[in-house]
């Protein structure tokens, strides 16, 4: 039985800092990688993701799908043998409450939007 391939990956956060590098099995899914990022995220920073759905991983210009494995997601074109793969993390901005969003977008009842020329 062949030894399982380990792939060294580091994650580049939106502020330019990195998590890793760490070695992962080639059978690790993108969703598992995202869970690892959530657990290792520096909580003193702004825009902390709470779930795997709050972020996207990008490698070689492609957004990686949660159900794909690391082996299926990697791009052999951009890799250097024995090098570290860099994946960029994009975090979705926090969603505003629907009630507060409505109050910001709704016009006031006693206001006029007329323009007199």
Burial 77-104 (b: 16+ CB within 10 A, else e): eeeeeeeebbbebebeeeeeeeeeeeee
Statement: residue 75 has pLDDT above 80: no
Show the domain range for 57.
6-105
pLDDT 10s digits, 17-61: 898 889 998 899 999 999 999 998 887 877 788 888 889 999 888
Query: Residue 92: inside a domain, yes or no?
Result: yes
Tell me whether residue 45 is in a domain.
yes
Would 116 be classed as within a structural domain? no
Residue 112 lies in a domain: no
Q: What is the CATH number of the domain that holds 10?
A: 3.10.20.90
Q: How many domains does the chain have?
A: 1
Q: Give 76-83's long-range contacts (Cβ < 8 A, gap of 24+).
A: 83/8
CB 90 within 8 A of CB 11: no
Residue 117 within a domain: no
User: What's the pLDDT score for residue 65?
Assistant: 92
**Averaged confidence pLDDT in the chain:** 79
Tell me which residue of 57, 61, 77 sits closest to 69, measured CA to CA. Answer: 57
Report the pLDDT value the prediction gives residue 74, as an integer from 0 to 100.
72
The answer to the question of residue 33 being in a domain is yes
Query: What is the C-alpha to C-alpha distance for residues 91 and 89, in angstroms, rounded to an integer?
Result: 6
- The reported pLDDT for the residue numbered 12 is 92
Q: Within a domain: residue 88?
A: yes
| Strand, coil or helix: 57 | strand
**pLDDT (average), residues 68-75:** 82
Query: Does residue 52 sit within a domain?
Result: yes
Q: Which helix (H) or strand (E) holds 77?
A: none
State the pairing for strand pair 18-25/6-12.
Answer: antiparallel
């Amino acid at each position: 039985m062949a030894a399982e391939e380990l792939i060294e990956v580091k994650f580049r956060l939106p502020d330019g800092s990195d998590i890793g590098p760490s070695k992962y099995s080639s059978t690790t899914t993108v969703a598992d990688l995202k869970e690892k990022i959530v657990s290792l995220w520096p909580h003193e920073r702004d825009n902390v993701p709470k779930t795997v759905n709050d972020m996207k991983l990008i490698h070689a210009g492609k957004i990686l799908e949660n159900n794909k494995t690391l082996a299926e997601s990697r791009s052999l074109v951009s890799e250097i043998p024995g090098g570290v793969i860099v994946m960029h993390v994009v975090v979705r901005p926090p969603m505003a409450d629907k009630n507060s969003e409505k109050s910001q977008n709704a016009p006031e009842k006693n206001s006029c939007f007329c323009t007199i020329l």
